Chains A and B, each alone.
Chain A
Amino acid sequence: MMRKKGVPVLVGALLSLGVTVAHAGSLISPPGSFSKSTVIAGAKLFADHCSACHAVSNLRYNRLAIDLGMSKAEIKKDIMLPSGANYLNGMKPAMSQAEAKKWFGIPPPNLSHIVRAEGEPWVYTYLTSFYWDPTRPSGWNNRVFPEVAMPNVLASWGGIYTKSGKQLKAGSESPAAYHRQVAAIVAFLRYASDPSIFAREALGPYVLGALVLLSLVSYLLKKAYWKDIDDRRDAEGHINTSAMPKNKTKPDDT
C-alpha cells in the first residue's frame, strides 16, 4: 500500500519539477518559426490531442480571440470541448481530475506555465522521445522523462519505436510533418505560458523608437546647455568659470 502510494508522489515530484532528470540528455529545439499562425495551428492540435487530459487553466478561451485574432465561432468549434467549457473561463480538460487520477495514478498537470518552467526544447524533446516499453502499465516510456505516466498520444502520427530506435509501426504522417505538428503544439504552449508575447512584440518597436527619439532630443538639450562650459575650456581643459553667465534661477543678491 505504502509503495503504491509512493510511486505517484515520486512521479508527481518529477512532473512538477522535471529539472534534474529532464535536462540530463541533449535537448532539441522545435523546428520552424514562432508566429500567430503556428500558435493557432498548435492550439487546434492541442484541443484535439491534449486537452482531453490537460488544463491550461490560466489561459481563458477569449484570449485566443484577443491575442491571436481567432473568431469566437472558430474557438467554439475547434478549441472548446463540447462538455461545459466556458468562453470566458480558463481552458479546462474534458476528463475530471478524479477520473484521471484513477487511470494514470496522478492527475495530468496543468500546462499553463510548462514552457516557462521547462523551456521549449525540453517540451519538444519530451514529446518526441516516447518509446515502446511493454514493462510499463501504459506500454510507453520516455527518454527525457523515464517512467512517465503519460502515454504517447501522438503515436498514430509519429509511429511507434523501440528504445533502440527500431520502427514497430509507421505513423500516418511523414517525419517532417509530424515534427512540424509537435512544434506547433509547443508553440501554442509557449504562447500560453506568456500570452503577452504578441502584444509585447507588436508594441516594442514603437516604444523603443520613442525612447531612442527621446534620448536624441535630450542629448541635444544637454549639448545646448553644456555649450556654456565647452566654450570656456582653455588649452588644458580647465573652465574659466568667472566668465560663465550668471545663473538665471539665482535671484540678484546685490
Chain B
Amino acid sequence: MSKFADWLNDRFPAREMMREHMTEYYAPKNFNILYYTGSLLLFMFFLQLISGFLLMAHYVPTSQDAFNSVQGIMYDTKWGWLIRYMHVDGVSLIFVLLYLHIGRGMLYGSYRRPRELLWIIGYVIYILMMGEAFFGYILPFGNLSYWAGQVITSILHAIPFIGPGLTTLARGGPGIGTATLERFLALHTVLWFLMLVAMILMHILALHQVGSNNPDGIEIKALKGPDGHPLDGIPFHPYYTVKDIFGVAVWLTIFAAIIFYAPTMHGVFLERTTFFRANPMVGLPDVTPPWYLAPYYAMLRAVPNKYWGIGLMALAIVLPFFLPWLDRNPVHSSRYRPVYRAMIILMAVVFFTLAWVGEQPPLPKYFFIERLGAAIYIGFYVLLPIVSSIEPTRKVPERVQA
C-alpha cells in the first residue's frame, strides 16, 4: 500500500491484526439472527461508556445532592434527558442482549469443547455486568436506590466470619450514605469498568482462537478447502461487518423508539420508586430488584431461611460455569437433540417466570411458583449429565445447513 502504511506496519502490527481478526478470521456462513447479539453488545457497551462519561460530568456523589444532581441532568441540562435515558434504558437492553447471547450459547452448544474457556470468560462478563448494574442503580439515590443498596449489601453480612466487616466495607460505614455513593461511583466507573474491558477483550481473543460455533454445532475447521480455509467459512470482514452494521441500524431504531416514546418502559426500565428521594425514615413495602436480576431474587425468597436462600441464589449463579462438563452428549447443537432443546426452552420459560415473580410482593400465593421455578432451574443442571448421556439424537449433517 502507501508508504505511510508500510512505515506504520513496520512499527505496529495493524495489517497483521486486521488479517488475523477481520479479513482472515473465517466465520461460519450460517449465522442466524441470534448472532447479531455479540456485536450489538459491544456497540451498547461503547454507548454506555459515552453516555456514562457525560452523566458523570454532572453527577454529585453525596447523599445530600446526588438525587438533585440527577434531576438537574433531567430538567436543566441541554440534552440531559437523552443522555440519561440512553444510559438507563441501555442497561435493560444490554441485559436483553446478554440473555439472548447466553441462550444462544446454550441452544447451539457453544460452551462445549474447545470453547469451555470462552464460555467461562463470557459468564464472568455477565456476573461483572450484574455488579456494574447494581452499582449504577444506587447512584441516582432515589428511595429504591437506598433500600436496594441496604438489602444487597446486607447479603454480604451472611458470609461467615468476615460478613459484618465486609458489609461495613462495602457501605463505607454503618449505613448507606455519601461514603457509599463515592465508593460505588469509583467501582462503577473505574474498577468494574476496567475489569469489563479486560474480560471483553479476552472473550474476543478466546473466540478468535477457537473460532465461532454455529447453529448446527459443527466444527467448520474440520472441513478445509485446498486453500486451507474452512469450506463453510467466510471472511468476517467484509461479510459479517456489513451484516452487523445492518444489525446495529435496526437495533438503534428499536433503542430510539424506546428512548423517545417509552423511556421508563412503564416502570420496568426505570421504576416508580426511583422518583422519590432516598429516605432512611421511609421504608419501601417491597424492595424488588430490576427485572434482569429478579430471577435470582425470586430464588433467594423461595427459601424461608436467609442463609439457605442466599446459598441457593449463589448456587444458581455459579452452576452455569460447569455447563461445559455437565453436558456429556457428543452432539453439540439442540437442533439435533430434541430432548435437550425442550429442556432449554423450559429453562428459558422458567427463568423469565422467575423474573416476573421476583418483581411481585412477597405473598404466599407466589411461594409455590418461586419454589417450582428454583427446583426446575437447579434440576436442569443436576439432570443434564444423565439426560445428555441417554437422550436420543438426530443425525448431524456433515456440513452446515443453508
Contacts and interface: CB of A to CB of B under 8 A. Distances in A.
A250 B19 contact: yes
B249 A195 contact: no
B256 interface: yes
Contacts, number: 132
B4 interface: no
Interface string A198-223: 01110110011001101101110110
Interface string B216-235: 00000000011101011111
Interface stretch (A38-46, A133-141, A234-242): A234-242
Contacts of A242: 225-227
Nearest to B399: A238
B391 interface: no
B239 interface: yes
Interface in B228-255: 229, 231-235, 237-239, 242-243, 245-246, 248-250, 252-253
A58 B242 contact: no
B256 A226 contact: no
Contacts of A194: 74, 81, 263
Contacts of A225: 238-239, 242
Given A117-B276, A250-B23, A221 B242 contact: yes
A241 B272 contact: no
B281 interface: yes
A116 B284 CA distance: 16
Contact of A58 (B24, B71, B263, B283): B71
B401 interface: yes
B275 A193 contact: yes
B360 interface: no
A63 interface: yes
Contacts of A36: none
B261 interface: yes
A128 interface: no
Contacts of B22: 249
Given A221-B242, A221-B246, A247-B23, A208 B281 contact: no
A interface: dominant SS: helix
A203 B245 CA distance: 24
B256 A211 contact: yes
Contact of B402 (A12, A13, A218, A237): A237
Contacts of B250: 215
Contacts of B238: 225
A204 B81 CA distance: 13
Interface in A120-156: none
A20 B272 CA distance: 13
Given A16-B276, A117-B273, A249 B75 contact: no
A63 B77 CA distance: 12
A112 B250 CA distance: 35
Interface in A1-40: 9, 12-13, 16-17, 19-20
B281 A200 contact: no
B260 A241 contact: no
B18 interface: yes
Contacts of A9: 281
B245 A222 contact: yes
B242 A59 contact: no
18 contacts: A16-B282, A19-B273, A19-B284, A58-B74, A193-B275, A204-B260, A208-B257, A226-B242, A229-B239, A238-B231, A238-B232, A239-B231, A241-B225, A241-B227, A241-B231, A241-B233, A247-B235, A249-B237
Query: What 5 A-B pairs are tightest by C-beta distance, nearest first?
Result: A196-B81, A204-B260, A113-B275, A117-B275, A215-B249
